[in-house]
Amino acid sequence: MAAEITDRVQELAEARGVAESEILERALERGVEDLWTDLVLARYVDGEIDRARAIKLVGRDHVKRAEREVKAVEDDITWGLDA
């Protein structure tokens, strides 16, 4: 796994004409951002924070997507129970 990541970092750096450290920095930033979004949305769905706070932290689009996903799961559960 580590060798595969190293190869990918090298290929990305070469393709973009930047240092490998810049690729790693961008990857870390993206990863942390994704993890943060997941955390905020989980807290929202679990009722730990309100909708307005979630929107402020990750944006309306992310919150709306989470709401659609929760609704889809609820609909599936209802359908399964009624079958």
Question: Are 10 and 27 contacting, i.e. CB atoms less than 8 angstroms apart?
Answer: no
Distance CA 60, CA 82 (A): 33
Please state the pTM of the whole predicted model.
Answer: 0.81
Terminal Cα-to-Cα distance of the chain (whole angstroms): 44
Where residue 35 falls among pLDDT bands split at 50, 70, 90?
very high
Domains in the chain: boundaries = 2-82
Distance CA 65, CA 71 (A): 10
In this predicted structure, what is the pLDDT of residue 83?
75
Where residue 82 falls among pLDDT bands split at 50, 70, 90?
confident
